[in-house]
Amino acid sequence: MTAEEVDSMAATPAPTSDAAAMIAALVTRFNCVDAEKTWSGSWRTDRLNRDLPDLPRHNIRRQLAGGGSQWLLRWTGYPYANDLARMLCDPVFGLRGTVAHESAGGVDLRRVDATLHLRQI
């Protein structure tokens, strides 16, 4: 990591256990698709080949920011925010205790005291 990245990490409050669980659940489920083909966690393409407008595939940006119990994940391109919400709330494959709420500009995932704001930009 660069010195700037080290400084930034040192200044960021550690996630609560519930926030860390949601963030880890996203990472460990990258590129997954459910058996019923209702959501896709792919970060490169829509693996369900739905008839939806293509998202940008160049100048891809991803940013995770926050601290403690409040985190914000912003990104361009795939996956769709609703897909990530369905993935983490899936009764079989999801993270137990996680619920999704539509909000201005995206979806908020909540688990006990933690919120992960999903914003596809």
pLDDT in tens, 12-40: 899 999 999 999 999 898 888 888 888 88
Q: Are strands 114-120 and 70-75 parallel, antiparallel or unpaired?
A: parallel
Asked if 78 and 43 touch (Cβ cutoff 8 Å), the reply is yes
Element (H, E) at 110: strand 106-111
Residues 117 and 47: their CA atoms lie apart, in Å, by 23
At 5 the pLDDT is: 84
Q: For residue range 71-106, list pLDDT tens digits in order.
A: 999 998 888 899 999 999 999 889 999 999 999 889
Residues 119 and 61: their CA atoms lie apart, in Å, by 12
